[in-house]
Amino acid sequence: MQDPLIRITERPKPPRPEELTLRFSERAVKELEAILKHYPDRKSAMLPALWIAQREYGGHLTAEALAEVAYRLGRSYAEVEGVATFYTMYNKTPVGKYMLEVCTNLPCMLCGAYRILEYLEQKLGIKLGETTPDGLFTLTEVECLNNCGDAPVMQVGDVYYRRLTPEKIDEIIEYLRTHEEHTVVQLADAEVQLHLSEQERQQIEGTQG
Ligand code: FES
């Protein structure tokens, strides 16, 4: 049984207002300003704001990241934390550079998802929910990835790997070790860009030296 992501006693404490350090980059501030124009009020931009924070804080949402989102949206810390902890796509604890998210829902399970998970555990020397000591890989299981016809399936960042076999897993791990693609931070950035129009992306790009 996988450990809960956060134990009550380990729940991060929000920084006091006077301790708040804003870490969003100039680009992130501009992205948030553009995204806010798409919504009737600031609260409605909570999800893209959390994606920006996940990218800006290196892949997971610290208490400081949640506090910054709360500050920038004019909401309470508790409200932002409530949203961030509701959705599994936001990481509340540190994760590796790559998240290996293996679907173990019924069709994938029947097609060998748990054999794939065990193979990954052996290959990486970690258990489900853990991160490799070099900080590269975090292994998790997820619910249906909506690709049941190509089971078993694993998501890594912004890509799905389908019809997995141990041989394919070897190739994928080798590829990820030698390329800067499909990282947790890149996925967060891709989600942010989805919330911007082409024109907004170009404008923001144009203002970055
Ligand atoms: S059950 Fe795995 S993609 Fe649907």
Q: Which of 10, 28, 70 is nearest to 193 (CA)?
A: 28
pLDDT of residue 97: 98
* 138 in contact with ligand 1, CB cutoff 6 A: no
Spatial separation of the C-alpha atoms in residues 77 and 79, rounded to whole Å: 5
pLDDT of residue 1: 47
* 154 in contact with ligand 1, CB cutoff 6 A: no
pLDDT of residue 18: 83
pLDDT of residue 6: 63
pTM: 0.89
3-state secondary structure 92-150: CCCCCCEEEEEECCHHHHHCCHHHHHHHHHHHHCCCCCCECCCCCEEEEEECCCCCHHH
- Where are the domain boundaries for CATH 3.40.30.10 in the chain? 98-182
Answer yes or no: are the C-beta atoms of 170 and 120 closer than 8 Å: no
Domain 98-182: homologous superfamily in CATH: Glutaredoxin (3.40.30.10)
- For residue 67, the CA-to-ligand 1 centroid distance in Å is 35
Q: Which residues of the chain have pLDDT under 50?
A: 1
pLDDT of residue 11: 73
pLDDT tens digits, 126-185? 999 999 999 999 999 999 999 999 999 999 999 999 999 999 999 999 999 999 999 999
Structure tokens at 85: 């902890």
- For residue 159, the CA-to-ligand 1 centroid distance in Å is 14
Instruction: Report the residue among 145, 159, 160, 162 best suited for mutation to probe ligand 1: largest number of ligand atoms under 8 A from its CB.
Output: 145
Give the Cα-Cα-Cα angle 25, 30, 32 (nearest 5 degrees): 95
pLDDT of residue 209: 61
pLDDT of residue 173: 98
Spatial separation of the C-alpha atoms in residues 100 and 96, rounded to whole Å: 9
